[in-house]
Amino acid sequence: MEEKPITKTFSVSGMTCVNCENRIENKLKKLNGVISVTASYTRSQVIFIYDANRVKLSTIVETIEKMDYHVKRAGAMLVFSLGTVPLMFGLGALS
């Protein structure tokens, strides 16, 4: 089966130091199908490239959350205030 690399960026809360970054990077790199990972606690994000034919995105999310970090899920509503009018934006589902 041909490799199908996809790059994703997740907002991840709960990282507080470089050790948290290393923990996430090392754990995800062990998953068959994860090609590369960069975690940043200062940006609260994890950027990774994975082969969708070898690992499911849901497996990556579950792996991060099993380490007691929280992946901010797409599909949540973001609410911004512009004066007195709240603006709501829906985010698409995880793919």
Question: Which domains occur in the chain, in start order?
Answer: 5-90 (3.30.70.100)
Q: How far is CA 54 from CA 18, 51, 58, 75, in A?
A: 28, 6, 12, 25
Average pLDDT, the chain: 83
Q: pLDDT value at position 23?
A: 98
- CB burial string 44-64: b at 16+ within 10 A, e below: bbbebebbeeebeeebbbebb
Better-scored residue on pLDDT, 16 or 78: 16
pTM (predicted TM-score): 0.74
Residue 37 confidence (pLDDT) above 60: yes
Quickly list DSSP for 39-81: EETTTTEEEEEEETTTS-HHHHHHHHHHTT-EEPPTTPEEEEE
Better-scored residue on pLDDT, 83 or 53: 53
pLDDT digits (tens, 9 = 90+) for 42-79: 999 999 999 999 999 999 999 999 999 999 865 444 44
Closest-CA residue to 28 (of 57, 3, 5): 57
The Cα 75–Cα 72 span in angstroms is: 9
Q: pLDDT value at position 2?
A: 80
The Cα 67–Cα 69 span in angstroms is: 6
Determine which of 11-20, 40-49, 86-95 has the lowest per-residue pLDDT on average.
86-95
